[in-house]
Amino acid sequence: MNVQLIVQLLVLAEEARDQEELTQRLESLLTAYGFEFYGLRLHQKPHHDTVGSAIIGRWPRGWTEVYASRKYVLIDPSVRMLSIAQRPFRWRDAVFTFRNDPHKLRMERMMQDAARYGLDDGYVFPVHGRNGLLGSMSLGGIPIDLSPAELALFDAAAKRVFWRYLELRGQAEDLQNAAKVDTQLTRREMEVILLLADGLTSNEIAKQLTISSHTVDWYINGLQEKLKARNRQHVVALAFRLGLVA
């Protein structure tokens, strides 16, 4: 464990004069820890537009094309975990969380494909702002075990690097001044809206949550009122816009 390297990045990130220097400092740390691949993203767009939200990253050659062509983002457990996670999490923990999901087989196929490209495991560090999820940093490659101290420091580094990139791009002020979202959703409402965003019908959501379809419709009607949405499609669109779903 060499937490001093992470602490060093926390300091040097503020001193980076441009994005190229910041990237060099970040990749130097990741190489020292054995993380071959990484991605830093800004989550302002619907989850099917992952290319447009990329800030910086390095992934195995051909993997992003496979990921996009097979529409893995729709069932990627790490992407779905981001909508509910408040802390860093490991890829394999996200897979376990959705082990009973209807799309389990597709998830397993995605992870098998990822492993063929050298993406065996990794970590995701969410970055939240006043209006919900703003971005995330993903680290991947061979399985690497981070201690609790390293995990906490990497989490701090992800946030520092994220904001420094936005400052260098001139985007930080707009995000920092974004209007605060006062909408508060219950755990069950979050479950319903996440499954709704995945394209499930009321009957499919009911089976997934072990409740009646009438209860699902009741939750959806409540969501429409809270979000002032015209219909369930508008609920999903607003959820993405407000950062309630990644």
Q: What is the pLDDT of residue 246?
A: 54
Q: In sequence order, what DSSP letters do the residues of the chain get, joined into one string?
A: --HHHHHHHHHHHHH--SHHHHHHHHHHHHHHHT--EEEEEE--S-TT-TGGGEEEEE--TTHHHHHHHTTGGGT-HHHHHHTT-SS-EEHHHHHHHTTT-TTHHHHHHHHHHHHHTT--EEEEEEEEETTEEEEEEEEEES--PPPHHHHHHHHHHHHHHHHHHHHHHT-HHHHHTPPPP-----HHHHHHHHHHHTT--HHHHHHHHTS-HHHHHHHHHHHHHHHT-SSHHHHHHHHHHTTS--
Per residue of the chain (246 residues), what is the pLDDT tens digit? 588 999 999 999 999 999 999 999 999 999 999 999 999 998 754 443 443 478 999 999 999 999 999 989 889 999 889 878 889 999 999 999 999 988 999 999 999 999 999 999 999 999 987 656 888 999 999 999 999 999 999 999 999 999 999 999 887 776 665 544 456 778 888 889 889 988 899 999 999 999 999 999 999 999 988 888 888 888 888 777 666 665
Q: Residue written as tokens 């490991």? A: 90
Which among 215, 189, 191 has a CA at the least distance from the CA of 203? Answer: 215
Q: What is the pLDDT of residue 50?
A: 40
Q: What is the pLDDT of residue 82?
A: 86
Q: What is the pLDDT of residue 1?
A: 58
Q: Give me the domains of the chain, ranges plus CATH numbers.
A: 3-176 (3.30.450.80), 187-241 (1.10.10.10)
Q: What is the pLDDT of residue 33?
A: 95
Q: What is the pLDDT of residue 51?
A: 36
**Six-digit token string for 7:** 């602490």
* Separation between Cα atoms, residue 240 and residue 66, nearest integer Å: 24
Q: What is the pLDDT of residue 83?
A: 78
Q: What is the pLDDT of residue 181?
A: 47
Kindly report whether the global pTM for this prediction surpasses the value 0.85.
Answer: no
**Six-digit token string for 208:** 């997934």
Strand-pair category, 37-42 with 54-58? antiparallel
